Amino acid sequence: MNKDLNILQVSQGSLIFNKPFTVSILPENKNFTYQYIVYKNDCILSTSQTSLNSTFSFYPEEYSNFKISALVFKDSIHIATLDSNSLDFIEDFVYIDRLDIVKTNSDITINVLCPISPIKQHFAYYLKKDNIAIEKIWYKKSNTHTFYNLSPGSYSIVVYSRLIKNNNYEDLVILETEKIIL
């Protein structure tokens, strides 16, 4: 085993579905080749071809526990195996499909649409005018909120989504609407 090699894990902790799980082998060495093995729940899911690329990204297509092992070769001889930490991709992840906006006179109502019922999901709403947050609504269970009596101008709404797990919040999604003109 080559003690000078390290695996750098770009993401730490629980990961959001469909975001990359990336590892890099340091220090980079043009004389080395690399092969990557992706594990799902401690079973081999896929194996890459051997390449000169010291960085590898995996995009999970399901919710589970994943780990990446990097095999390092010099002159076709295996010199090291480096393992990432196992990472959980959130199993009960509830994401946001889209944000529906309804303008009525001087009011803006935003409805957060989720593919499944947002039972354990809480939402925070930030109203921005000219890119400055002017009103903040802290996390609440409701996936709908109305901002009332707004003056004419250019607005956007940032929606933060969190999932409650064991009385702790875990950030999931942050979406911002396109500009809304009143």
pLDDT value, residue 20: 73
**pLDDT band at 34, cuts 50/70/90?**
very high
**pLDDT band at 107, cuts 50/70/90?**
very high
- Which domain does 166 fall in, by range? 98-181
Token pair 């935003």: residue = 110
One-letter identity of residue 135: E
For the chain, how many structural domains are there in total? 2
Query: What are the strands of the beta sheet with 144-147, ordered from one edge?
Result: 98-104, 107-113, 144-147
Identify whether 93 is part of a domain: no
Asked whether residue 75 falls in the same domain as residue 105, the answer is no
Asked whether residue 44 falls in the same domain as residue 74, the answer is yes
Q: How many angstroms separate the CA atoms of 25 and 55, rounded?
A: 6
Identify whether 1 is part of a domain: no
Q: Averaged over 51-79, what is the pLDDT?
A: 85
pLDDT value, residue 13: 44
Which residues are paired to 12 by β-bridges? none
Looking at per-residue pLDDT, the higher value among 4 and 117 belongs to 4
Which CATH number characterizes residue 67's domain? 2.60.40.10
Reported pTM: 0.49
pLDDT value, residue 92: 43
